[in-house]
Amino acid sequence: MSRVKQGYRVELAPTAKQRSRLAQHAGLSRVVENFCLALVKAALDQREAERSYGVPDELLTPVPWSAPALEKAWRAAHSTLFPWFGAEGLSSRVPKEACRVRAAGLKNWAVSRTGVRRGRRVGFPTWRKRKHGSRFRYDADRAHPTGPGMITLPGVGPVRTREDMSWLTGRLAYGCARIIGATVREQAGRWWVSFQVDIDRSDIDQRRAVAADAPTCGIDLGLTTFAVVADDSGVVEEVHPPRALKAAQRKLRRANKALARCRTGSSNRAKAARKLAAVHLAVSHRRADFLHQLTTRLARTKRAIAVESLNVAGMVRNRRLARAVSDAGFAEFIRQLEYKAGWYGSKVWAADRWYPSSKMCGDCGVVNAELTLSDRVWTCQCGTLHNRDRNAARNLLAAMHSTA
């Protein structure tokens, strides 16, 4: 039995009273995170002052760095500083998870300073504000489904869902899945709960596993054509992106103008902000739907997939391409393809970042160093006429086969 960690998100259909309770818990999480940060900053400032007086390091004021230390400090202080917490009957699990979130941020910052953590350096945690969004967490299975259309949230009660959860509830009932955490989040006035599930996917993956004789393919990613998929059978498919952000530019412009005209703090401004958020949410959902459908189809129908390693962080620094690159979602495409390939038994092979897939002739192997990004069609010195994207996809496929 192979178990994996998987997310399962479902939209809630709360009543007006439940919306108020959800917002209260989101505010509680924000208060606890800021309380923890203030505690850590005060301790760090005190240590600096003590050092200036010549106090040895072993006698400096300790910093409540870990989640248990922060939670202990919250339990000791909330009855005095935040008496409304007990009076309102809010869930005690939310502060516990807020302390863990803050401790994780502090740990990431500390590890990033040493250079051990991969990726960009992480800054010191900042204050959490309302404009950063409403969200809170429950630990373990405190929040759990009680039926195909009902979820119980501590401190809120049973909340209906807008989607059927039989896929999850059936596996929970048979012991094939276990909830290890839940995050509740508000987006554009709509509430969602995301379950982190430890699940046995063997039955699903076996039914939908890729065939042993399925073709292999190479994929070249681009902006004009999102993906050119070249099979070893000679079939070449061009996948065009929805360009969700570009398609919504007119709506976004009008929504932003309406928001700018409203007076700060007015109810009309709050309505305009929700309308703007709804447009952004629709863009996000449209892009996610496209990426999920494409990656699922590829992982189920291709035995091995060759992709290029793109420096997406570097690409978005180009102000002329940043919006189009962000709209495409290249990094998310690769991420989804990798974990879905593991589910269905296919493999993903990534070429070296400096591999000249576009500039190399697929027939003679000569590299055209003078090829520019605007050259969509080019002729090699051997006389072969190449379509840039198709040639790159075939080269990636050949490179994968040569290393197998």
- 367 vs 371, 378, 380, 392, CA distance in Å? 9, 12, 9, 12
Whether residue 139 lies in the annotated active site:
no
Decide: helix, strand or coil at residue 178.
strand
Whether residue 203 lies in the annotated active site:
no
Q: Which residue has the tokens 């993906």?
A: 227
Pairing between β-strand 144-147 and β-strand 227-231 as defined by DSSP bridges: unpaired
Question: Chain centroid to CA 47: how far?
Answer: 37
Q: How far apart are CA 245 and CA 233, in angstroms?
A: 35
Q: How big is the chain, counted in residues? A: 404
DSSP lists the bridge partners of residue 333 as: none
94: nearest Cα among 19, 22, 145: 22
Under DSSP, the state recorded for 317 is T
Catalytic residue among 33, 97, 186, 308: 308
Q: How far apart are CA 214 and CA 303, in angstroms?
A: 5
- Single-letter residue type at 293: Q
Q: How far apart are CA 210 and CA 138, in angstroms?
A: 36
Catalytic residue among 33, 97, 327, 389: 389
Q: How far apart are CA 88 and CA 336, in angstroms?
A: 41
Q: Give 59's contacts (C-beta < 8 A, 6+ positions apart).
A: 50
Catalytic residue among 33, 71, 186, 220: 220
Q: How far apart are CA 351 and CA 308, in angstroms?
A: 5
395: nearest Cα among 360, 370, 347: 360
Q: How many CB atoms lie within 10 A of CB 5?
A: 11
Residues recognised as catalytic: 220, 308, 389
